[in-house]
Amino acid sequence: MKYFLVAGEASGDLHASNLMTALKEQDKDAEFRFFGGDLMQAQGGQLIKHYRELAYMGFIPVLLNLRTILRNMKMCQQSILEYKPDVVILIDYPGFNLKIAKYIKLNTNIPVYYYISPKVWAWKEYRVKSFKKYVDKMLCILPFEVDFFKKHNYAVDYVGNPTVDAVADFNERNKEDSISQFRENNNLSEKPIIALLAGSRKQEIKDNLPTMLDVVARFPDYQAVIAGAPGISPEYYNQYLTTDSKIIFGQTYRLLKYSEAALVTSGTATLETALFRVPQVVCYKTPIPKIVYWVYKHILTTKYISLVNLIADKTVVQELFAKFFSFSNIHSELSMILNNAIYRNNMLSGYDEVINILGHPGASARAAEVIVNSMNKNK
């Protein structure tokens, strides 16, 4: 069968490439065209447009590049029409992909599948109506999404979480690693490590990292090691580094594997930290914090901001964001994690519940199986 995939970000490129690998195992005649990245290209097929030319974040960048965005959208639509795939598979990236889904559904008979549901449960619940109209099958990677969509009478498939796959694969490939080798390779001291995952964008790093470093400096028996974000230069981090901190790039999983605790901004990093069973503090600084927190409590429809708590449906890790983000709050929570064994073990027990809820590795294989079986039934 012929597959057209659309991924607009680095994470989508990763998950789509793993899905393509699994599709080739399920369908020996699989052919691909796609909007995506280098990882997808390595799986074969034809790259039409790289995600680096698609990704514009924030209102102003989108407005300034609106003509380019519309041109890319038109190119994507035309490429699908010319290729005549058996199915279009959209990966996350809702602002772009939902418009593609609508166009394909209204103008062709090509089925549209969505892998990795956008987080409409957080604040754009109204978009569920569009998904029901324009997406034939939704494949979710968070268990609670099934119940969320069910209340809107929209049947979806939970296929497992690809982050579980990524962590399991890392652990399998790195069984022989040692903390002594890790320290030697990165010129680290013998002190226990506190990992700092301060975000993937410059603004997040600017807002969160200085406070994180200040907090860890009050624990002189530990060393702060920053996980450098892809696409952010070492020079950018240098303005924040202290004499007692280090930064490493391309080794986030290895860093987590050997850390005693972590300070983490919200996002997938909170789940990755939990999967490595590293006690963490979720901390995220925002502008106008009191107003942001009011919006969160009264307008957003989610009880938590971290994936760990969302999956557990209870407070496993403390979320110190908006008006709760402060040096004293983060310091107090980190102290509890490092010095209170009962508190620490309760968090680790919560992690075990999350790991159990997420299920076994194999999200990509299950997603491919659902897609291929569904397509074969509809032939």
Considering the domain architecture, whether residues 130 and 103 belong to the same structural domain is answered as yes
Confidence (pLDDT) at 118: 83
Specify the number of domains making up the chain: 2
Question: Do 172 and 309 belong together in one domain?
Answer: yes
Residues 294 and 176 in one domain: yes
On whether both 86 and 148 belong to a single domain, the answer is yes
The end-to-end CA distance of the chain, in Å, is 11
Segments forming the whole domain that contains residue 233: 166-358
Q: What is the pLDDT of residues 309-362, one digit of tens each?
A: 999 999 999 999 989 999 999 999 999 999 999 999 999 999 999 999 999 999
Is the same domain home to 155 and 249? no
Q: What is the pLDDT at residue 298?
A: 65
Residues 138 and 183 in one domain: no
User: Which pLDDT value is given to residue 63?
Assistant: 55
**Residues 156, 83 share a domain:** yes
- CA dist 77 and 307 (Å) reads 33
Q: Are residues 207 and 105 in the same domain?
A: no
For 249-275, what is each residue's pLDDT tens digit? 999 999 999 999 999 997 889 999 999
| Same domain membership, residue 334 and residue 294 | yes
In the sheet that 280-284 helps form, which strands lie side by side, from edge to edge? 245-249, 223-228, 193-197, 259-264, 280-284, 319-321
pLDDT at 123 > cutoff 80: no
Instruction: Show the tokens assigned to 260.
Output: 């005693």
Alpha-carbon dihedral 128, 132, 134, 137, rounded to 10 degrees: 110
Q: Cβ(224)–Cβ(253) under 8 Å?
A: no
* CATH number for the domain harbouring residue 94: 3.40.50.2000
Contact 164, 363 (CB under 8 A): yes
b/e per residue 326-361 (b: at least 16 CB within 10 A): eeebbbebbebbbeeeeebeebeebbeebbeebeeb
Q: Do 99 and 229 belong to one domain?
A: no
* CB contact at 8 A, 163 and 364: no
For residues 189 and 222, membership in a common domain is answered with: yes
Q: Are residues 83 and 226 in the same domain?
A: no
Q: Which of 165-169, 296-300, 363-367 has the lowest mean pLDDT?
A: 296-300
Q: What is the pLDDT of residues 16-58, one digit of tens each?
A: 999 999 999 999 999 999 999 999 999 999 999 998 776 555 4
For residue 257, the model assigns a pLDDT of: 97
The answer to whether 273 and 252 have CB atoms below 8 angstroms apart is: no
Angle at 21 between CA 201 and CA 106, to 5 degrees: 75
